[in-house]
Structure 1
């Protein structure tokens, strides 16, 4: 293999060991630039050749192109996240899991030989680009609310990522399959019909992958059902209010009847006010209802049916005659004849 042919298919080695020519060393990188998002895994690979006089002790990957070219497996940043595999077919692979923004940079295949202190590195290596992971897109429906048959409905795929979106694709879920509807954003369904009912979602395509939205459900109503719903909703809202109004009016009417009957009884001479309060009025022994006629009971209890003199005569001492009060108590008021007679 000549120098020109090697240069066309591989990357030449930087260093030449004593007694070894540069055209006998070469490294090939299948991909010299890779782009991934945060959290993903990435694979890199290199294949190499070396002079027959040289024995390769170890092939590994490094991130430094100068100095001692340390093995990534000894770096705390990568120790638990990488796997390096060396094959007998003169190939060495690197896998990095859970990529972070700090992982961006150049990676190189490097070799050590059985000759102490001899190292060899192949350039230009692999350039790793790391981007923030895009967010899951969402889908909005316009117009909002009930979708009536015959209208145009627009679906919009919304992305919150700063990464450029290269393509949009729309799908409808049909049983266990996904029916591809079209591309572009937004996506419009013309003259929608009941058979368009179902779940829809979008796919946002990026340079290094795709993101799918959650599904949204589209419910189409016919014009007749839409009119029925418009009539039923006021009934559900106004029905309870009407029932409460009827109950209030009936109660008010009943209350008026009770009051009217009470007024009628009051007009005919029945007891007014609170019966409990009236029954607490002291009753003179002569007004005991057990010894009087029914007419006399009400006559003694109802102030409207008794004469003022009769009420106060037995209760108010101011209404009795002085002679009657003191005659039995005051000795000065007794008759001389009665005293002498004794």
Structure 2
């Protein structure tokens, strides 16, 4: 495709005439004599030539550059570098126009023809200047600024030239260009990248230029190493990361709102459960600062602060007992509890609660996968009030039964007496007390109390 450039006016070039032929009969006209083209574009070198009547054209070709005296000119159509790129559009009469595609180097080209009697060449030739497109932009801008990028070339391109802009080799979908300029209003960090330009209709694209957008830290985060389970006593490293331009070099660390250190990396040796409070880092560069979200460390540790609380529970119809509750602080929470009586090696119970049926000093031991701890011993006194109540109730039941039996026996005896004698004189009877009951005559009973005291 032919490049869009402004051409110089036609120029008539006089040929060097060989063997004394009059130069007035020989001539070559190059139009234009100077062409400026974009790299990798195509150009047409318009050309006409004349020669004396009676001469027959035997060969025509284009050649380039200067040669040493006596050295034969090379036909570019036979040069491997030009063979596929050069197309002769003229004839063997007057037209010597040539098309050259994918131009690469600045060079000077000449038309040469050979007749049946002589040969000649246009000595001035066509000067081809090959140039690149260049993007001009500021080296660095700050987020929020307005930025103007310019696509330039040493060639004078026509006003009808349409410019295409690319960011990171991708064409910009929005047409934000004005002539050969690209205007970015209120530039964002997403606008950073490598910008290049091209002219519509040409294959050549300018070298890319980096647009560097400066901005304050964002996306500040804290990572934990090691990333797995943290156990009390381990060493832990906190790492602060952020996205900023230029990269942040200043970092501050805060624990529960209090400053505890500086630097991108914060180390905690022999960590404890007291170190689980939320940590934040602050990332700083010359354009601003930002805090990360708080990170709470989940620190595993064995039971501590193990204690026993006492709950009295009287059970009237059974035995008195004292309920003991074991409490502890651990992570994860302790689920395994064992109970011991002081000075005894074997456990007397398990579970978070324990019912003591006898007096003594008891303690508990709490366990999780990271260790165990025992509580201090507590003194437990089991009272026997409940047992006396049971004894009194048992005696009352027996006495009540005895009264009923005695009453029945008395009633039966009196009925018998009445039948033997209705008029017998009453005689005095011994008073017997059995369970606070007065009897008119002796009654004997055999009651056995079978009560086992624990």
TM-score, length-normalised on structure 1?
Answer: 0.46
Higher helix share: 1
Which one has the largest radius of gyration?
Answer: 2
By relative contact order (CA 8 Å, sep 6+), the higher-ranking structure is 1
